[in-house]
Structure 1
């Protein structure tokens, strides 16, 4: 399977496929991946909202962004969002913990990323042991280096979202502008650092269970 093997699908179809993964009394994990601006966060939120809080919870990979002070110390602040600007080991360990969580285990608290401050916030997403489906989304779920393969091994399925490139670029520019970048800086970031990351991410699409394009 490659990026050329794109399957057109509706949101209702995605919801039905996600619901089919749910097995009461068992824990399943579904991953959504794709290049920056592919719509991962939006689709993941729509899936979880449609299934309801008793069935699904969203645990984004972005909660494992390294803090800005760490990125500065490592000399990586100017390319935040690249695969080595995340705590991939921490993410893999969290997924393993969620995979092993059973009905009589305590709540697990996952981190989230706050775009308005560009920092992760720890212990802010409660995952109850009785929730059968965990949905996670992020850029590097299919990368074959570092701890990313260990994270992938915890996921029952991974879906790759592949919108048209122009749509993806427009989303990225608007996102960067919404969080304070000038139009020039937003475009420079979207077509520079983001696009370099996108090329790496798209090279992993062949390892996805589905490659999807929504209308």
Structure 2
């Protein structure tokens, strides 16, 4: 994606924000595809007319993953509160009254979700949300797609994505061998699942 692509995507997002009522744009893709980076740039370029609400704020806490025996699969679909995410999207689509809605975020340094981190004022016309599983059509994820006005799927060179993902894990505390093992196992299983649902997106964005 070059700057002309970014300008076109920004214009597309801006047209959603101009619709006269709250809209929600989803950005989906495999782990490490660049979802959070693109989402943040779109929000920045809309200059106060959009807010970023990440799906990752609905990670289950580490203690709960340990209790459930899922800590070794952190990032898989059943390691999130998908129903809670869908409930938040419903609140965001239909804000009530003058009070803001507060959404959770995910702190990568802590590797934990943090409640009440993102303020969404009632006059914000566009919410941008990004995550792996926006297009899943099964289980508690199934309602999510219908709650999004538009979804973009990020398609990126797989080798580049994997290398960047390993580097990110290392930056946040894993040893490189552990990071490589985690990406080859857990992250790539999740990536294959995400890829199966790309045809439910409105737009495929090819990142170079």
TM-score by length of 2: 0.96
Q: Distance in 2 between matches of 1:142 and 1:25?
A: 25
Q: Distance in 2 between matches of 1:24 and 1:211?
A: 22
Report the secondary structure of 1:153's partner residue.
Answer: helix
Please say which of residues 11-20 and 55-64 is displaced more in the overlay. Answer: 11-20
> Structure 1 stretches of 5 or more lacking a match?
1-8
Equivalent residues in 2 for 1:39-78 (5 A)? Answer: 39-53=34-48, 55-78=49-72
The runs of at least 4 aligned residues of structure 1 exceeding 2 Å deviation read none
Q: Distance in 2 between matches of 1:185 and 1:121?
A: 25
Q: Distance in 2 between matches of 1:14 and 1:191?
A: 31
Aligned: 1:90 with 2:75: no
Q: Distance in 2 between matches of 1:142 and 1:101?
A: 23
Q: Distance in 2 between matches of 1:204 and 1:64?
A: 20
Q: Highest relative contact order (Cα 8 Å, sep 6+), 1 or 2?
A: 1
Aligned residues: 205
Report the secondary structure of 1:116's partner residue.
Answer: coil
- Tell me if structure 2 keeps the 8 A contact 1:93–1:151: no
> Structure 2 stretches of 5 or more lacking a match?
none
TM-score by length of 1: 0.93
Instruction: Output one character per residue of 1:81-138: Cα deviation in whole Å (capped at 9) or x when no partner.
Output: 0000000000000000000015x43100000000001000001110000000000000
Report the secondary structure of 1:147's partner residue.
Answer: helix
Root mean square deviation, CA, Å: 1.1
Displacement, 1:170? 1.0
Please say which of residues 112-121 and 147-156 is displaced more in the overlay. Answer: 147-156
Q: Distance in 2 between matches of 1:71 and 1:133?
A: 32
Partner of 1:18: 13
